[in-house]
């Protein structure tokens, strides 16, 4: 899958970046059943003298994944909920 993003606005900039000339191309490619390759190319001739690219391999894990933006300390959610269920079993207030 290829995602091309352009037409950035100046609502959020840091030292003039991004400019309206910025284009980011992201690629998502399955390398195997357990691995995906994420790639990106950044091109903004106003800021950079040449475009640059990178890749990162993402491996499948056999763990539950929790959306971290919704809960503080979400990395401990299994333990937090397990502790609360145990308190409920003991008739205590969680």
Residues 53 and 8 in one domain: yes
Q: Which domain holds residue 91?
A: 63-94
Residues 80 and 57 in one domain: no
pLDDT digits (tens), the chain, 94 positions: 999 999 887 777 666 677 888 999 999 999 999 999 999 999 999 889 999 999 999 999 888 876 666 666 566 778 888 899 999 999 998 6
Residues 48 and 3 in one domain: yes
Q: What is the 3-state secondary structure (H, E, C) of 62-88?
A: CCCCCCCCCCCCHHHHHHHHHHHHHHH
Give the count of domains, the chain: 2
Q: In a 3-state reduction of DSSP, which class is residue 89? A: helix
Query: Quick one: pLDDT at residue 8?
Result: 82
Query: Quick one: pLDDT at residue 73?
Result: 59
d(CA 59, CA 91): 42
Query: Quick one: pLDDT at residue 90?
Result: 93
The pTM of the full predicted model, rounded to 2 decimals, is 0.63
Which ranges in the chain belong to alpha helices (H)? 77-89
Residues 35 and 4 in one domain: yes
């Amino acid at each position: 899958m290829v995602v091309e993003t352009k037409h950035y606005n100046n609502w959020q900039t840091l030292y003039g970046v991004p400019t309206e000339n910025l284009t980011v191309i992201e690629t998502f490619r399955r390398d195997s059943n357990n691995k995906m390759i994420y790639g990106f190319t950044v091109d903004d001739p106003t800021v950079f003298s040449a475009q640059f690219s990178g890749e990162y391999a993402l491996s499948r894990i056999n763990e539950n994944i929790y959306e971290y933006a919704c809960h503080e300390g979400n990395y401990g959610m299994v333990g937090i909920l397990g502790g609360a269920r145990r308190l409920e079993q003991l008739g205590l207030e969680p």
